Amino acid sequence: MPPFAWPVLVADIGGTNCRLSLVEQAGAQPVPLARIATGSQATPEAALESVLTTLAQRPRSAILAVAGPLEGRVARLTNASWTFDGPVLGRALGLEQGLLVNDFEAQAASLAVLGDGDVTTLVAGDPEAGGTRLVLGPGTGFGAAAIVTRAGRSVLVPTEAGHIGIGPEDPTEEKIWPALAAGLPRVTVEALLSGDGLVRFHRAVAASSGLREPDVSAADVTTLALDGEPAALMAVICFWRLLARVAGDLALAFKATGGVYLSGGIVPRLLPLAERGAIATVFSAKPPMEDLAARFSLHVITARDGAERGMATIAAAPARFGLDDPARLWFG
């Protein structure tokens, strides 16, 4: 893959928000440009142009991290209506070249550059230098990707792990599971561990306690829980426990001896309500694989620009991450 032409536009495009930054040269930090609502305009080309037209210097290249599956140069958001066709978008914006990545590929790439001040450790474990690392987390949807290092090269492995099925595992979950599953054609990780999932937990806890079903948003649940409202607090506790269970299960699936990192817009806000002892127990309770699970570490990425920094790192050295696939790169 040839070097990117600078400056490079990097965009973290989720189901709710789109964050745009500009990276002026290799090794530079992303400079925030704007945060706009996903779907604010009919097409991503129109939305991005509304920001680029205000710049004194337009980008020459772009890396777009899209919250959805990719097929070569094309991607579609899972939880919004935008579709991305790399060459079409490049011509519309006057770009010389570009690359589409999954949003959690960008998060996984950020692990190569994030420092100790960018993460909070929940479970210390016994991480292995050079071991596979996994980044996952809830936002509008639920994403997951791994970074696998072999022979000095780190390969990014995107997944659709948010769409795997899940069921109850302890008496508390069994009690509220019928309410959690109500109306769902299939109970998946994303259905329960996303913003909508947090609302679903709150309603399920309220229903199991004989309370009126409240009409709240995920942000409302977080605020109520931080204020000590009982149903919201229990909802967040249940949410954390399920998130820890899923994180531990996926750590086993990837043998993530380098550590598991929680990202996304929700987890940092819920960090003050994390019961670390309970989280560590659920995360590591994986019979008959307790010895392996005890090695896994669990962290929360608190840096708000992790995806953008990951994309800046990709732009500086794309071959470093196994992304030198000509089927994904486009030219203007």
SS3 for 188-239 is EHHHHCCHHHHHHHHHHHHHHCCCCCCCCCHHHHHHHHHCCCHHHHHHHHHH
* Start-end of CATH 3.30.420.40 domains in the chain: 8-110+306-331
Residue 298 near residue 260 (C-beta atoms within 8 A): yes
| Range with lowest mean pLDDT among 104-118, 187-201, 213-227, 263-277 | 213-227
CATH 3.40.367.20 in the chain, residue ranges: 115-302
Whether 320 shows a pLDDT value over 80: the answer reads yes
Encode pLDDT of 115-142 as tens digits.
999 999 999 999 999 999 999 999 999 9
- CATH number of the domain located at residue range(s) 8-110+306-331 in this protein: 3.30.420.40
pTM of the model: 0.94
Pick from 30-34, 123-127, 204-208: least confident:
204-208
pLDDT score for 262: 98
When pLDDT is averaged across residues 177-200 and rounded to a whole number, the result is: 94
Strand-pairing partners, residue 17, are 37
CATH code of domain 115-302:
3.40.367.20
Strands 259-262 and 298-301: parallel
Q: Rounded mean pLDDT of the chain?
A: 93
Q: Is the pLDDT of residue 1 over 70?
A: no
Whether the per-residue pLDDT at 265 is higher than 90: the answer is: no
pLDDT of residue 327: 81
Confidence of residue 72 (pLDDT cuts 50, 70, 90): confident
Q: What is the pLDDT of residue 207?
A: 85
